[in-house]
Structure formats: C-alpha cells, structure tokens
A and B are shown apart, each in its own frame.
Chain A
Amino acid sequence: MNTLKIQNLTVEVEGKIILKDFNLEIKSGEIHAIMGPNGTGKSTLTKVIMGDPNYKISDGEIYFNDILINNMPVNERANLGIFLGMQMPLAIEGVTNADFLRSAMRAKNGDKFKLLPFVKKVDELTKMLHMNSDMLNRGVNDGFSGGERKKNEILQMYLLEPSVVLLDEIDSGLDVDSLKIVGESVMNYYKDKAPAVLLVTHYQRLLDYIKPDFIHIMNGGKIVKSGDSSLALEVEKKGYDKVIKEAKDE
C-alpha cells in the first residue's frame, strides 16, 4: 500500500500564492479527480508533487509513504514511483525517443535493464496505443500531434510502472478516438497495477472512461468541495460558478 499525503501545502510562484493550505491523501487503488475553473492551481499541484523547481513550497509537507519529499530531486521522486503525465509534453528536438526511454529504463532498472525486452515492450505499447512504430527513432514528441504526445505519456507510464500516477489534463487536445484509447489504457493500467491516481480534468468526458472514487473541486488554491462521481455530473449540469458558490454557502 502506497500513500501520497499532502498536508497544509502552500505554494507560490514569483511571490504569488497559487496553492493555499491544501490537503489531500491518496492511497493505492484510489482514483481522485481534481476539477475546477482555469487558474485555480490544479496543474500547479501536480507539478509541485513531481518537484518542478519553478514552484516554491512556502509551507506544508508532501509525503510519499511517510517519506518527506518536499526537497527531493525530481528524478528521485520518479524513481520512488511517482509519474506525471503532462498537459503539454515538451518536444525535445534531437533527443530520440529511443535514447530517452532507454535512459529512463536504465535509471529505473539499473544493471537489470535489457535492450531486447525493452524494444519488444515498446513495440507492444505502440500497437496498443495506435502509435506509429517509427516513434522510437523520432525526437521526443518532435513533430507529434497533440494526441500522439498524450499517447507517448501513457506509453511512458506503462514502461515505468509507477505506483502514483498524476495525470494533468491528459484529455486535452484529444479527438474522440484518441480519448477512448488513452482513457481505456489508463483504466487498464489501474486495474492491473492498482496505483494511486490523481487526475486533473475540466471535463466529464474523460470520466466516461476513467472512473474516479473521489471528485474534488478546487478554487482559489484549495479544495472547496469533495464528493463521489456524481459531483462531476453536477458540475457538468450547473457549472463551476454555481457549484463553488453553493459550497461556500454550505
């Protein structure tokens, strides 16, 4: 059982507070979806958990299985089993997917890394995700469409087998077919590995494929309302403004 625990977290960027006194606990086998209007700190939350140095934790703690990770380097967090599927994965010209993924797998497996099983696994995953088989020889996300980039994130998730999965708007930029492939692939991974999942999304449509146990509505850098999957339907029906206003009135 793995647990990601965020306690009283306050985060700022260039002097502006983005997350304020934020609390959340996610255990293995749980799917938490964070929803909310633009600019409420949803993406910031995932980046701070991953250790993006552009964000400064001014107060509070992030624990992974009781290990305080506030000051842990990004790669060490990843090697603990934390994975961030990014909203806008970067294109890195010149660095091939093959080199990138090999380095990531070597970092994870050390001397146990074997090239042939790795190539075979990538081949299986590209088929599963309906990606071009030549992607290994292309630059990381270089020339990839929005959909291909998101699929590449999911491919990396399958390779690295994380125990905590953070997915930041993994549905943005996807057409209906790609959304189905990505959504079902995440759910299959969840069924197989039972990770703790934190999902950031604006839309109910992703939740047709990924079924969260908990929905949290964020506003002003903190969770203002939590509930089960019916909360997403309520948001879809009423809109964020009304749901947030009702939460404040309660």
Chain B
Amino acid sequence: MNKIIIDNEKSLLVTSDGNLSFKTDESSKFLNVQNLNVKISSDTDLIIECTGNGDIKFDIYINVLEGVKANIYELKKDAVYKSQYKYYLEKDSYLNVQRVISSTSINDMTIINLNGDNAKVDYNLKTVCKSFEKYNYLVYHNARKTSSNIINNGVNILEGELEFNVSSFVPNDIKKCYVNQESRIINMTDNLCIIKPNLFIDEEDVIASHSALIGTFSSFEIFYLMSRGISKKESDRLLTKGFLMKGISYHKDDLKEIIDKYWR
C-alpha cells in the first residue's frame, strides 16, 4: 500500500511498500504546477489524497509496467483543482482507478495510453458537483486486445455545472479491443450539464459501447421508496448513495460523509 498526499504547496509519498517509484519536480514555478512521476513496478495499491484551500495544480504521470496489476484510489476535496493525469499501461498490465470527488471546482484532463497488448483499465469516477467541474478524457488503444471501461457518475447540486467529455480511439489494425464508456449525471438543478461521448474507431474487429444519461432519479423509484413512508428528501439521499457508492471499495466512508453532508 502506498499513499501520496497533495496539497497547495507540495506532494509527498507518505507511505510506501517499495512497489513503486515516486518523483516530483516543479515544471513551472511561474504557473505553480506540481509535476509528479509514478512508476509502478509490482502489484500494489496507491492512495492519492488531495485537499487544501485555494488553487491546486498538478500533472501526474503514472506508468504501469508489464504484467503489473495496480489499484489507484483517489480522494479529492475542497480546493480548486486543475490537474492532468497521464497513464501509460504496458503489456498485460491492469489498472483499476476509483476517484471520489467533492471539490470546490475542477478542470481535469485524463489521458490513458494502453500501449501494450492486453492492457486493461477500469475507471470509476464519482462526484458531487456544487460549482464547476469539467472532466476530459482521451483514451488511446495503441495495442491489440486492450480494454477500457470508463464510468463517470455525478450528482449535480446547488450551483453545479458538470461536464464529462470522453473520447476513445482505436486506430486501424488494432484488433480485438473492448471499449466502453458509461456516463450518467443526476441533475438536481436547472443548470446546464453536458456529456459528450465520442468513439473514434477505425477498426472493425472491436467491441464498443457507450451510454450517456442526464436526468433525475426515476419517478417510479421515488414512488416505490415513498410508498414505504420514506420522505422525498430521504428517498433522494438513498438513491444518491446507491448511485455513487456503486463500484467504490476504498473511500467509502469519505463518500458517505460527503453524501450525508448534502442530503441530511
């Protein structure tokens, strides 16, 4: 188990099991962007926790070496974030990313490079959006039999404006890839939310799918819960909890705390 803490000023590897290397350097003092390099060389878990006030800007490069299985559990709270994630997955590697977010504001770019045959990524993002949050993804299938499963779930509340832009690329001759995108926003405001699901596929021998949904919880679900005496507010809380907790195994208590904060 490894843990990186990121705040306004610095990034620190506070716990390490020796299965990854970690390097930081400041790419631009003028822009105040932190640069983090992580190389994962053996099966391991990495926890990333970001918290603080004001602006936090960082670029993180994560390299998962051949045959390695890694889990990354991220928790982002409070601050205004501008961050870029670049993942490089080598042959037969597997990366499971779970992100739990309750920030002031986010502008986020994630680039996933599936560079080796059989590389696979499962990606799961959960956010409670209260102001402006924009997530951009570029998922490159650069090798055969690679697999990407990108799931984004957000609940938009208060002054929230939430946007997911997901683009997956499979070039010609990169055969037998699996590409999936699922994005869903529960919009509890009148504000604008956007999902742009893009599949750029130049190869026929591919399984690709996407779903994108912006709306409220189903009136049938609400009716069912309320028919057992549960108030509308508590029904919303239960459905939000169910929606956001699904697929999250690590920062569950933090996510529950975030949900309770806004739905109690």
A interface vs B, CB < 8 Å? 50-54, 73-75, 77-79, 83-84, 86, 89-90, 92-96, 99-100, 103-104, 107-108, 139-140, 156, 160
Contact = CB atoms under 8 A, between A and B. Distances in A.
Contacts, number: 81
Contact of B242 (A53, A108, A139, A156): A139
A54 B226 contact: no
B66 interface: no
A107 B243 contact: no
B236 to A, nearest CB: 11
Contact of A53 (B223, B231, B245): B223
B241 interface: yes
A75 B219 contact: no
Contact of B228 (A52, A78, A93): A78
Interface of B: 219-221, 223-232, 234, 238-239, 241-243, 245-246
A95 B234 CA distance: 12
Mostly, the A contact residues are mixed
A67 to B, nearest CB: 16
B189 to A, nearest CB: 21
Contacts of A94: 239, 241-243, 245-246
Contact of A156 (B221, B228, B231): B228
25 contacts: A51-B227, A54-B219, A73-B226, A74-B226, A74-B227, A78-B226, A78-B229, A78-B230, A83-B227, A92-B221, A92-B224, A92-B225, A92-B239, A92-B242, A94-B243, A95-B239, A96-B242, A99-B238, A103-B230, A103-B234, A104-B229, A107-B230, A107-B234, A156-B228, A160-B228
Contact of A84 (B227, B242, B246): B227
B241 A95 contact: yes
B229 A75 contact: yes
Given A94-B241, A94-B243, A52 B223 contact: yes
Contact of A73 (B224, B232, B245): B232
A107 B228 contact: yes
A140 to B, nearest CB: 8
Contacts of A90: 220-221, 224
B246 to A, nearest CB: 4
A43 to B, nearest CB: 13
Contact of A89 (B224, B234, B239): B224
B219 A103 contact: no
A97 to B, nearest CB: 11
Nearest 3 interchain pairs by C-beta: A94-B242, A95-B242, A78-B229
